[in-house]
A and B are shown apart, each in its own frame.
Chain A
Amino acid sequence: MGGYIVKRLVSAVPVLLGITIIVFLIMSLIPGDPATAILGSYATPENVEKLNRDLGLDKPMVQRYFIWLGNMLTGDFGRSFSLNRPVLDEVSERFNATLVLAGTAFVLCSLLGILAGVISAARQYGLADKAITFVVLIGISVPSFFLGMMMILLFAVNLRWLPVSGMYAIYGGGDLPDLINHLIMPALALAAVATGVIARLSRSAMLEVLRQDFIRTARAKGVPERRVIMGHALRAAMVSIIPILGIQAGFVLSGAVYIEIVFQWPGVGRMLVDAILKRDLLLVQGGVVFVAACYVLFNISVDVAQSLLDPRIKT
């Protein structure tokens, strides 16, 4: 197992290296430059040129890439000019917020999605199945930002049950209940789509498994039905559900961008959108590398989880 993990980690290195190249290339191709963004309304071509020189953007692209990569390997991600602070500080701070949001949403969508899928499959064509199918369809058919805004309108503005936005109460908050309070709406809005997708796929995976001979065996030995479904069937279905979770984790992470904007969550997605618009090259590059590395690591752990669950997979 240890060897397997090391092997997977090693194979992730070229992927991450490729990502650094892609993000660097894309950022170089985007028209507009950081100097214009810094100078705002007062960006004359002359000022822009001078500032670009100050920022070291007049060097050839390849050279800039290797300088960036070299610095990054020594732990120096550079300085964000739009935020006027080290990229690593900003990214790691914002990344934590995103992890809290996306992590909660991911746990929510996994639990709710699988549960909905299991119930739906166990009660196929029954009332519960139809109700779940319907709710799930709403979840995957409404843009998440729209859902989020509707939730704010209903639960925060009209009913005043939950805070509108932010991660902590602005004064006197900061503890766990406060965080949960702020987390409920964005996490649910973010989880909606993925819950729907996971529920649908879990349902078919469960239906597939429930037809298998070993389910009949379990029933024949008198295993209680609840355990047949939640134990035998679900465990086998997890083999095909786990890769879906891996993919959905990517969608949740990406979808967090919208939710972070709507709910003013101080996360990395919103930061990256701003950074792209402001042409904050180093911030975008650093942030994307961070997010991508996290995604790659997560996928490796998904594969490891898969191999732990399914002994037939050779590690």
Chain B
Amino acid sequence: MSTFFKLLFRNRLAAMGAVVLSVILILVLITPLLPLQNPDITATADRFQKPFADGHLLGTDHLGRDLLSRLLHGTRLSLAVGISAALIAATIGSAIGIIAGYFGGRTDNIIMRGVDMLMAFPYILLALAIVAALGPGLMNALIAVAAVNVPFFARNIRGITVGLAGREFIDAARLAGMGHTRIILTELLPNVLPVIIIAMSTTIGWMILETAGLSFLGLGSQPPQADLGSMLGEARSAMISHPHTSVVPGIMIFLIVMSINLLGDGIRDALDPRLRSGALSRPRATTLVERTGDVPEATDDLLAIQDLETQFHVNKRIYRAVGGVSLSVKPGECLGVIGESGSGKSVTALSVMGLVASPPGVITAGAVRFRGEDLIDAPYESLRQKRGDRVAYIFQDPLSTLHPLYRVGQQLAEAIQSHHKISKAEARERAIQLLEDVRIPNAESRVDNFPHEMSGGMRQRVGIAMALANEPNVIIADEPTTALDVTVQAQILSLLDDLRRDRGLAIVFITHDFGVVAQLCDRVAVVYAGRVVEEGPTGAVLDAPAHPYTKRLIACVPELGGGRRMLSAIPGLPPVVDDLPPGCAFAPRCDKAQEKCRHIDISLAGTGDRSVRCLYPEELV
């Protein structure tokens, strides 16, 4: 609950809305206690007094009644009407929606056709007709406004209920022999309630506007009773000559509706679990760079990651996802980067081309050099020109990484056309060629497929084809085979291997599977808690792992492709990177750890092409 309020008030607009609304609510609640004039007493000789006139802070209306007093009494009434109309509409509408969604089938069909009919009926006319049938009065206007909003709630809630009704816990409740009423009340309702509340909070404002509209058409509260809509309606004829009489209720309506909307938005966001994790913020085009300290010197590697530090700033917490990683590849070389989930290997890979989502990601130190040029502080356009052209990516889940609404051919063509001016026809030719290169049968027809029309393996081939489109120098493959089954995985790996050999590609291969590394990579770097803990030629590391963590990882791999299942074999969990221990991050899980390991910052040390970050390595390197 306190997090809820903290989140709510972190949103400054929502906080403003809450403050304005509470001020209005408090004023309205204490209205009967305030020393106000009687809102209904007329004094026609004193009509149309300007605001700040003697005895009338906001002036008077066309019958000389005190506007301040009418405003507060009117607001009281309008709020009451708006809230009750929203409550009524929400209750009835949700009930209908839940019933339709829960029972489905014919019930659903009939109810929803009815809802369709009501929605096709222009709602103002429906309200007008209802008021005409019921007779005048604010109560009837309330009923009309509530009635016309029922279909919207019904449709909304039905959609959500349909989603829930198919879920396991409802089936379970059914199997447990619960009755429909009980399931609806105890299982469905609690899950739908937040949505209803959010929908209602945004509807209240709308209700107030609609009642004002009905009053505009002359159907609302009965004189002399004041509500905001009728005040606005009564003041209308004097709008040109005495604008203050309509501006006063107009501003009040504006304030109420605006504050309700702001607050409603705030509540919606605060209740949304994704917002807490920062997931509702938009990632920028490139990762934010806030580099402190010196930038490492250039090397002659094709691609060099140097002392890279990437952090996630979520609220006040800082997650050090990458804590000073240095890696490099040469042309034609394949570097494996291996580690558990959350070790920072993917973030390292994404940092190369500034693809870490930001916010919350921030690159805080180090450099990434492509042929010696630092990409970290490169201007957006120069970075963009290299993305996909010189350094290309292959991502993990090809279903979510391909755009669902573009044909694969278009997506391939686009990759080329983003860097080369070629005609549509040429681009299509090239796309077909690429599909053939990655051994997709019937490339001619496949090129017009949408991603959802292809199998997982096919899609991943498309992903690879896309990476190859501009004949890049480096491909960064971020767990490209994890989502695939074993046979497809093997095909993809051999495809990548062929391509590397044929085209002299450098590959950075991110994985958590030593089996894959063994099959493909020349060198391997083992990453733990955002740092490289061991690095060396694949064969050497596999044969004689120096870091205890590496040894455990290797021990988990009985055969090709079984990696994912086995990682749990290491007792304990990887550390949370916002609270890293000062010493070796693996120490808590390491059975060889000494007291010293927990306190000293251990450096990556070694000779030749091997190095390890351990005080007590398994092997001396």
Contact = CB atoms under 8 A, between A and B. Distances in A.
B257 A250 contact: no
A299 B380 CA distance: 42
Q: Taking each of A133, A211, A227, which has the highest tally of chain B beta carbons within 10 Å of its own beta carbon?
A: A211
Nearest to B217: A273
A145 B254 contact: no
B212 interface: yes
B120 A295 contact: yes
Given A143-B209, A255-B124, 14 more contacts: A29-B133, A153-B243, A213-B395, A214-B400, A214-B402, A217-B403, A220-B353, A220-B387, A224-B418, A235-B403, A253-B122, A276-B132, A288-B125, A309-B405
B120 to A, nearest CB: 4
Q: Give chain A's interface residue range (CB within 8 Å of chain B).
A: 35 or more
Contacts of A218: 403, 414
25 contacts: A18-B117, A19-B117, A22-B117, A137-B261, A138-B258, A141-B205, A143-B212, A146-B253, A211-B279, A213-B397, A216-B350, A216-B355, A220-B353, A220-B395, A222-B388, A223-B414, A224-B384, A228-B285, A235-B403, A235-B406, A250-B119, A257-B122, A272-B122, A273-B217, A296-B120
Contacts of A212: 400
A217 B395 contact: yes
Contacts of B386: 222
A216 B254 contact: no
B240 interface: yes
B321 interface: no
A176 to B, nearest CB: 28
A193 to B, nearest CB: 8
A243 to B, nearest CB: 10
B133 A236 contact: no
B113 interface: yes
B403 A236 contact: yes
A207 B387 contact: no
B191 interface: no
Contact of B418 (A141, A145, A200, A222): A222
Interface of A: 14-16, 18-19, 22-23, 26-27, 29-32, 121-122, 124-125, 133, 137-138, 140-146, 149, 153, 157, 200, 204, 206-208, 210-225, 227-228, 232, 235-236, 239, 250-251, 253-255, 257-258, 261, 269, 272-273, 276-277, 284, 288, 291-292, 295-296, 299, 309-312
A220 B480 CA distance: 15
A136 to B, nearest CB: 9
Q: Taking each of A30, A133, A228, A236, which has the highest tally of chain B beta carbons within 10 Å of its own beta carbon?
A: A30
Contacts of A276: 125, 128-129, 132
Nearest to A253: B122
B419 A14 contact: no
B236 interface: yes
A211 B283 contact: yes
A257 B261 CA distance: 24
A16 B350 CA distance: 55
B282 A121 contact: yes
B232 A146 contact: yes
A157 B121 contact: no
A220 B355 contact: yes
B429 interface: no
Interface in B222-259: 232, 236, 239-240, 243, 246, 250, 253-254, 257-258
Contacts of B113: 14-15, 18
Contacts of A133: 13
Q: Taking each of A19, A206, A219, A310, which has the highest tally of chain B beta carbons within 10 Å of its own beta carbon?
A: A219
Contacts of B133: 26, 29-31
Nearest to A294: B120
Contact of A23 (B121, B128, B281): B121
Contacts of B132: 30-32, 276-277
Interface in B593-615: none
A221 B395 CA distance: 11
Contacts of B166: none
B153 to A, nearest CB: 13
